[in-house]
Amino acid sequence: MIIKPVKRLLGEITVPGDKSISHRAVMIAAIARGKTRVANIQDSDDCNYTVRAFKEMGIKIYEKGGVTIVEGKGLKGLEKPDSSLFVGSSGTTMRILSGILAGQGFEVTVVGDEQLSARPMKRIAGPLSEMGAGVGLKDGEYSPITIKGGRLDPIDYTLPVPSAQVKSAILFAGLYAKGATSVTEDFKSRDHTERMLKYFGAAIKVKGLKVSVTGVGELKARPVDVPGDISSAGFFMAAATLLKGSKIRINGVGINPTRAGIINVLKRMGADIKILNKKNVFEPVADIVVESRITRGVTIKAKEIPTLIDELPVIFVVAALSKGRTVIEGAAELRVKETDRIRSMLENLEAMGVKMKVVGDDIVIDGVRGLKGARLKSFGDHRTCMAMAVAALAANGESEIDDVSCVSKSFPGFFDVLEKIACK
């Protein structure tokens, strides 16, 4: 795709339903009792793989009146699929689903594509094995992952690296164990699982950085309205901040504190962001208004990373056009996403004239006055692709991104929404 710079962004938009919450809504509804109505579920490759996996395990999931209906059969209601479950490149599906499969009465293999097969899965195999599940991995580290479910014992587990996906897998497995299963982390990762399990009736307790769930209870169907995805909104927030004269409004976005790191960091950099019409059901939701501002470099501490891990690529872009130096500490987790996002962003931003260097797990970006148009690579990664599209909008001269099809993983309509509010 050829992307030419634009003058500004103006208008009002919505973004797809939150990907993390959409995954969890389908999963929890499938093991709850009764029909759950899920509104605004994200229609993306990743979420569709989750839906397909549960259909293949005997759960009825269908559309009715623009709402997704999930007919849950209870904790033990899943059926052994006819073959392995293919989940594409969705790490969320593979990791969290494994926790549910650990409590079932059958064995199944979950397979990912080439991209997902290079991402670490040992971090979930360890605690699930400790609970009593049979877990097999390729070379002891990578997918495919084979789960042999059965009787589980509760554990008290401390995460070596903060991860909402690993935490969620353990908590889901804890639903099937007699007694309290707890997870402790150094920094608080996103808490969608805790919120939604509690909403569906699970015995969840949160005390500081420790979360526990007591099994074996029963979950009851509840209506779910998925808020807009803040990770998707982040690209537009960044673009509106950078492009002089811009003003946009993004309606109905989830502003969960464990996900709102991008708002906090952009404000610290000088961005003009207003939060309006805040409301709360099981997740806080609001409208976000962003106007352009000159930004400055900041230091982002390691403890902030879990709250903005998916938004870091586009924060790199803002940092590149900010006054002074931005330092991002402890960003190693970016290396094990759909691609090594540190490497992909470094290669792309250097092609645009940015001064960026990597020191261990830290990233240092010195702001420049302007970006030059360049040939860019998505590396098959949706967030790298969208971040570089934002950079291209603010560049001097046109840019070319080699493959933009990967945005369908989380935001199939990204370029259509961008076109709607771009003033050329």
pLDDT in tens, 238-275: 999 999 999 999 999 999 999 999 999 999 999 999 99
Q: What percent of the chain has pLDDT over 70?
A: 100
- Measure the CA dihedral 80/83/84/87, to 10°: -100
User: Percentage of the chain surpassing pLDDT 90?
Assistant: 92
The 10s digit of each residue's pLDDT in 194-207 is 999 999 999 999 99
Place of tokens 């353990």: 170
Q: What is the CA radius of gyration of the chain?
A: 21
Give the tens place of pLDDT for each residue, 78-131.
999 999 999 999 999 999 999 999 999 999 999 999 989 988 899 999 999 999
pLDDT of residue 161: 86
CA–CA gap between residue 51 and residue 296 (Å, rounded): 42
Give dist(CA 424, CA 134) in Å, integer. Answer: 57
How far is residue 85 from each of residues 52, 80, 94, 200, measured CA to CA in Å? Answer: 9, 10, 9, 26
List Cα–Cα distances, 382 to 9, 61, 409, in angstroms: 21, 26, 6
Residue 424: per-residue pLDDT: 83
Q: Which of 1-15, 111-125, 309-323, 380-394 has the lowest mean pLDDT?
A: 111-125
The span from the CA of 155 to the CA of 173, in Å, is 10
* Segment 344-363 mean pLDDT: 94
Tokens of 365: 């970006």
Q: Which helix (H) or strand (E) holds 316?
A: helix 312-320
Both structure tokens of 25: 């809504």
Instruction: Quick: pLDDT tens for 207-231.
Output: 999 999 999 789 999 999 999 999 9
Q: Select the more confidently predicted residue: 68 or 337.
A: 68
Domains and CATH numbers, the chain: 2-16+227-423 (3.65.10.10), 19-225 (3.65.10.10)
Q: Tell me what pLDDT residue 119 has.
A: 85
DSSP state of 17: B
**Can you give the pLDDT at residue 162?**
86
pLDDT for 205: 97
pLDDT digits (tens, 9 = 90+) for 125-149: 999 999 999 999 998 889 999 999 9
Q: Contact, 290 vs 236, CB < 8 A? A: yes
- The residues annotated as belonging to the active site are 310
Q: Taking 80 as the threshold, does the pLDDT of residue 19 lie above it? A: yes
DSSP H or E stretch at residue 384: helix 382-393
Size of the chain, expressed as the number of residues it contains:
424
> Is the Cβ–Cβ distance between 131 and 124 less than 8 Å?
no
Per-chain mean pLDDT for the chain: 95
pTM recorded for the entire structure: 0.91
Say how far apart CA 368 and CA 107 lie, in whole Å: 54
State mean pLDDT over 319-325.
98
* Start-end of H helices in 158-210: 164-174, 192-199
- Over 390-419, what HEC string results? HHHHCEECCEEECCCHHHHHCCCCHHHHHH
Q: How many CB atoms lie within 10 A of CB 297?
A: 19
* Dist CA 392 CA 1 (whole Å): 11
Rounded CA gap, 263 and 89, in Å? 27
Q: Report the relative pairing of strands 224-225 and 203-207 from DSSP bridges.
A: unpaired
Give the burial class of 278: count Cβ atoms within 10 A of its Cβ; 0-12 exposed, 13-18 middle, 19 or more buried: exposed
**Phi-psi region at 379: left, alpha or beta (left = phi > 0; alpha = psi -120 to 50):** left
Say what the pLDDT of residue 258 is: 94
pLDDT at 216: 77
127 Cβ neighbours under 8 A, 6+ residues apart? 155, 157, 166, 169, 170, 173
Retrieve residue 287's tokens: 């409208």
Between CA 410 and CA 18 the distance in angstroms is 9
* Secondary structure letter of residue 125 according to DSSP: H
* Rounded distance between C-alpha atoms, residue 109 and residue 134, angstroms: 11
Q: b/e per residue, 233-251, with b = 16+ CB within 10 A? A: bbbbbbbbbbbeebbbbbb
Has residue 63 got a pLDDT over 80?
Answer: yes
